[in-house]
Amino acid sequence: MSVPGRAVLITGCSSGIGRATAERLAARGWSVYATARDLASIQTLASPNCRLLRLDVTDPDSIQEAVAVVEDAAGAVGVLINNAGYSQSGAVETVPMDLVRTQFETNLFGPLGLIQAVLPGMRRAGWGRIVNMSSMGGKLTFPGAGLYHASKHAMEALSDALRFEVRGFGVDVIVVEPGIITTGFASAAASSVPAGTASEGPYDDFNSAVAVVTQMVYEGGALRRLGGGPGAVARVIERALEAKHPRARYPVTASARLLMTARKVMPDGAWDAFLRRQFPQPGPH
Ligand SMILES: NC(=O)c1ccc[n+]([C@@H]2O[C@H](COP(=O)([O-])OP(=O)(O)OC[C@H]3O[C@@H](n4cnc5c(N)ncnc54)[C@H](OP(=O)(O)O)[C@@H]3O)[C@@H](O)[C@H]2O)c1
């Protein structure tokens, strides 16, 4: 059940989940506006149901411009899919503050800017759906990815408040929580780990291990078998958009359900003990 005339604006369509979602929704008759910071990266998505716009979520002008184009054409953004994001990995102490800020600009402040830009149109229309891409990492935290997890935990909290605040205007807020999804995400996360500034730095071994473990998990670890491809997330998003009453949260893949349940039931000490089997703990040698 697509909703003719209701425009779907998706961020981060150059690859992975955003691309798969744009393809799936356009094929199912939704009126999709696929966006990316580099238009050339999404040229192959263009079709009668899929228009292309440049949108860098860290650039407020590009947010305003993209939303204005959709509103001129369709009256309002009907569905916003806040998908763009990445993991700025590395031990918390080792990530320079400018990279921390860019992480939050991309994963939280950009999506928030979009939410604020589309809501007036959704309220006028009396209908809207906001899909915020969180992660199982919005409910649990792995060492070496604290900044990414902080941004996704914040996305969860923001979505909970927003769900209450906008429901009366006919707007649903939906959180999507993927687990292990094979996209460019893992290699981007692994290569984001800061290189040691001095050899034998206190976190050098740890940061190297984080990069290796991240790649391993996605390439062939046991968890990989409980994960999925980007199409699995696109299917869940479609289901959430077509539901008469969408749920507040949609975990995607068994990896997400398993790990989020484990984190919920394990006391902090047990969780940390579990993590010590996966990561070397930094400390004086
Ligand atoms: N893969 C997973 O296991 C997994 C699990 C849980 C949650 N997620 C979440 O799913 C979302 C999509 O990730 P993915 O797995 O599809 O990874 P991906 O293939 O690396 O895609 C990330 C997308 O975000 C875009 N992006 C990054 N910075 C941007 C910016 N400033 N403005 C606009 N777009 C920007 C990238 O565009 P460029 O090509 O321009 O860089 C790319 O299109 C992210 O929010 C991620 O946190 C992924």
Kindly calculate the radius of gyration of the chain based on its CA atoms and give it in whole angstroms: 19
CA–CA separation, 41 and 39 (whole Å): 5
3-state secondary structure of 151: helix
Q: What is the number of other CB atoms lying within 10 angstroms of the CB of residue 2?
A: 18
Ligand 1 near 227 CB (within 6 A)? no
Q: Which of 54, 57, 83 to mutate to test the pocket of ligand 1 (most atoms within 8 A of CB)?
A: 83
Does residue 138 belong to any structural domain of this protein?
yes
Residue 219 lies in a domain: yes
- Contact criterion met (CB below 8 Å) for 203 and 91: yes
Check if the beta carbon of residue 215 is closer than 8 Å to that of residue 190: yes
Please tell me if the CB atom of residue 169 comes closer than 6 angstroms to any atom of ligand 1. no
Note whether residue 135 is domain-resident: yes
> Which residues in the chain come in under a pLDDT of 50?
1
- Quick one: tokens of 211? 């990069």
d(CA 262, CA 245): 28
What span, in angstroms and rounded, lies between the C-alpha atoms of 104 and 264?
25
According to the model, what pLDDT value does residue 5 have?
61
Give which of 109, 94, 108, 112 is closest to 165, Cα–Cα.
112
Of 2, 62, 152, 255, the active-site residue reads 152
Ligand 1: centre distance to CA 68 (Å): 23
Q: Please name which of 33, 18, 49, 34 lies closest in space to residue 176, comparing C-alpha atoms.
A: 18
Rounded CA-CA distance 177/128 in Å is 20
Distance 267 CA to ligand 1 centre (A): 31
Would residue 29 count as lying in a domain? yes
Tell me the C-alpha distance between 205 and 214, whole Å: 14
Catalytic residue among 2, 14, 89, 151: 14
> Among residues 31, 89, 148, 151, which one is catalytic?
148
- Among protein residues, the one whose CA lies closest to atom 19 of ligand 1: 16
The answer as to whether 126 is a domain residue is: yes
121: Cβ below 6 Å to ligand 1? no
Nearest atom within ligand 1 for CA of residue 82: 45
Catalytic residue among 2, 87, 134, 159: 134
> 185 CB less than 6 Å from ligand 1?
yes
- For residue 180, the ligand 1 atom closest to its alpha carbon is 3
For the record, the structure tokens of 269 come out as 């000490």
Q: Quick check: is 149 in a domain?
A: yes
How, if at all, do strands 50-54 and 128-133 pair? unpaired
CATH number at residue 68: 3.40.50.720
Residue range(s) defining the domain that contains residue 103: 7-276
- The whole-number pLDDT of residue 222 equals 86
Q: How many C-beta atoms lie closer than 10 Å to residue 118's C-beta?
A: 26
Establish whether 255 is a catalytic residue. no
The question of whether 134 is a catalytic residue gets the answer yes
Domain count, the chain: 1
pTM of the model: 0.97
The answer to the question of residue 284 being in a domain is no
- Is residue 281 in a domain? no
For residue 19, what is the DSSP state? H
Distance CA 239, CA 19 (A): 17
Mutate to test the pocket of ligand 1, among 185, 257, 259 (most ligand atoms within 8 A of CB): 185
Give the largest CA-CA distance in the chain: 63
**Could you tell me the distance, in angstroms and rounded to a whole number, from the CA of residue 107 to the centre of ligand 1?**
9
Which distant-in-sequence residues (6+ apart) come within 8 Å of 86 by Cβ? 103, 106, 107, 148, 185, 188, 189, 192
- pLDDT attached to residue 220: 85
Ligand 1 midpoint to CA 85 (Å): 4
